[in-house]
Chain A
Amino acid sequence: MSSTAARPRAAVPVTANRLEAVAGLIQRQGAPTVLVLVCVVASATSSTFPTWSNISSILANNCFVWLLALGMTFVITTGGIDLSVGSLYALGGVLAARGAQTGTWLALLLPIAVCAAWGTLQGLLVARAGMAPFIVTLAGLLGARGLLQALTDEGSTTYLVPAHSDFLRLASGIWTPVLIVAVLFALGALLLTRTRFGATVTAIGGNENAAGLMGLPVRRTKVQVYLLSGTLAGIAGAMGGSRLGSGVTTIGVGYELTAIAAVVIGGTLLTGGSGSVGGTVCGVLLLAVINNLIDQYASQYGSAFTDTVNGAFLAVVVLLQTLLSRARRLG
């Protein structure tokens, strides 16, 4: 029966329709299922995959994309999109390294503050000025890259985190960054499923006009969602700066696409109104595991092969998602 749905969903009539229930189940549980399958197959066919060093490197190397995908989950659930996160992540890294010249706290707070402000500005343009999120954040992507280049004299200046700085400890090793990400994800999951804010986010994506008519703070929530996405990109940037020990200007290109792909694969509908933080975790892991597997054969095929497979994979998943969500609507 569909009353066993994983979480309370706004404005979905309870119809005990088997097709709908199955489609809903696959749509919500598809990513973990595929993830388990891929991991089992990979462990069976590859001797290097199930090793501890390989798994820990998958976890630690994807921390940053994970945080971007967490913010993206909220944005996409409202029916928006945030293309600026890759640029903000790179900008945050440079700001962190710049701040580390002065002190650890500045290294941590400067990127988060600037990226949060950037996100807020984008949110205001989307919510208050009624501009298309795609274009606003596209401009944000260009602008943040530009600011980053200006800060580093067109990429010619590299700020190094001082070798004795405590800031280097923020994302060193494996456990610290993974723990930070895990805590943030737990908070994110609670925020989306257990708070008034989360319910409003879902309601806006479901039907923005209806949400407004019900008296929900639509505009304010939309601004907050972009603020959240920017803040998380800033945290990811700070962690990246700490891990690399310097402000690298060329990182983060295309990360927004990876984050969007992870969110979509995780079962969050791009049309908004149905988002899942747990799904995003699986989405990022699935992409990471597949990339890791392809990389193991990279000596034979090269990175172009990775891109081709990734694109095809994303297309298939999105098609399935769309078909499943339609089956649910028909049910």
Chain B
Amino acid sequence: MSTTTAETAAKSGLPERDRLLRLLQEYGIYAALLLLILVATGMDGSFLSAGNARVQLFQVSPALLVALGMALVIGTEGIDLSVGAVIALSAAVVPLYLGWGLGLALPIALLLGAVSGLVAGAMVAFARVQPIVATLSLMIGVRGLAELINGDSAKPVTDAALLDLGGNAFLGVPLMAWLTALAAVAVGLVVRRTTFGRQLVAVGDNPRASRLAGLPVRRVQVTVYVISGVLAALAGVLIVGHGAEADPANQGLDMELTAITAVVVGGTPLSGGRIRVLGTVAGALFMQLLTAVLTQHNVPVSYTQITEAAIICFAVYASRERGTR
């Protein structure tokens, strides 16, 4: 009715199918999340209970933290495969310094995550190595390093402060979920409201034009990998605290896939230039709840995997770049 001329023009220029896809890309993930919650509640009334919600929040928080960092990296047209290995590195170093208290162990873990991100960022920005390969070599090397530091066996963790951080709740919501929400708001504000956020999106959209326009392209690239590394390291500490053990050989495995999936399903295009923070939150929640529902109803793991694969494909298909045909 009261559509502006610009909108009308845009609409008339788009075929029907593309308009649908555009809508799907814009709001699809929220609709899907809502639908999933409704269906799950319909099948099992206790799905919406406080207890179940808390369990799901514990599960999703570390993955979402990692996904937020991944969203920034993907926004610059990069990808970070090293996040799972950084989680393992956290798990390896935290027990070493817990004797001095969490106050020392946590900063050291975060610092190492930053160093790993710095290496990845330097390889991408200065040596112009493809992000996939740069972070792939870190993924192999850093996990090896973590296992090297840790030795063969998983270590039980008994530090009260860390167990509280990983297991306690405030106002009925897990501490780690508060922390993750804080991180999500911070990342959202950075993307929306800061110069750095604008630069980041510009770099992802067109690195060459950004460089010519005088943006600090390399600094932006290094910074996103550092942020991704720090968030992954924090996720690692939370995972150790929640599980009450440090197991670098197994913790954080496949986390890079989980995070990339959350970002992609949330509508952030892999080609960079656009970041959807709220979409990433919804994407992470959607994948977590989907897995939970399928597991709860005794669907075999294999079908869960196939379902996830199909959803990833569909999400990417819906959010791909539509060039002129």
Contact = CB atoms under 8 A, between A and B. Distances in A.
A129 B320 contact: yes
B133 A264 contact: yes
A150 B264 CA distance: 26
Interface string A253-296: 00001001100100000110000000000000000000000000
Nearest to A311: B141
Contact of B128 (A146, A305, A309, A326): A326
B127 interface: yes
Nearest to A142: B309
A136 B148 contact: no
B302 A139 contact: no
B134 A318 contact: yes
Contact of B137 (A81, A134, A303, A318): A318
Contacts of A150: 300, 302-303, 306
Interface string A75-96: 0000001000000000000000
Given A257-B136, A304-B148, A142 B300 contact: no
A112 to B, nearest CB: 21
B40 interface: no
Interface residues of B, number: 45
Contacts of A271: 130
Contact of B123 (A260, A270, A315): A315
Interface stretch (B8-16, B46-54, B216-224, B310-318): B310-318
Given A271-B130, A302-B152, A139 B309 contact: yes
A185 B306 CA distance: 33
A322 B136 CA distance: 15
Contact of A134 (B128, B132, B303): B132
Contact of A81 (B123, B132, B271, B308): B132
Nearest to A136: B313
A141 to B, nearest CB: 8
Contact of B144 (A140, A260, A304): A304
Contacts of A129: 317, 320
Contacts of B313: 125, 131, 135-136, 139
B104 to A, nearest CB: 25
Contacts of A154: 300-302
Nearest to A140: B309
A271 B131 CA distance: 11
Interface string A306-326: 111111101100110011001
Contacts, number: 139
A139 B257 CA distance: 10
A189 interface: no
B302 A310 contact: no
Given A264-B133, A270-B132, A147 B141 contact: no
Contact of A306 (B137, B144, B301): B144
Nearest to A81: B132
Contact of A319 (B129, B144, B264, B305): B129
Nearest to A129: B317
B306 A147 contact: yes
Contact of A135 (B127, B129, B140, B264): B264
Interface string B135-148: 01111111111111
Q: Which of B123, B127, B138, B146 has the most CB of A within 10 A?
A: B127
Contacts of B66: none
Contacts of B308: 142
A142 to B, nearest CB: 4
Interface string B111-132: 0000000000001000111101
10 contacts: A135-B270, A135-B316, A142-B306, A146-B303, A307-B144, A311-B144, A314-B140, A315-B123, A318-B134, A319-B129
Sort A-B residue pairs by CB-CB distance and give the 3 closest, nearest first.
Answer: A311-B141, A307-B144, A149-B302
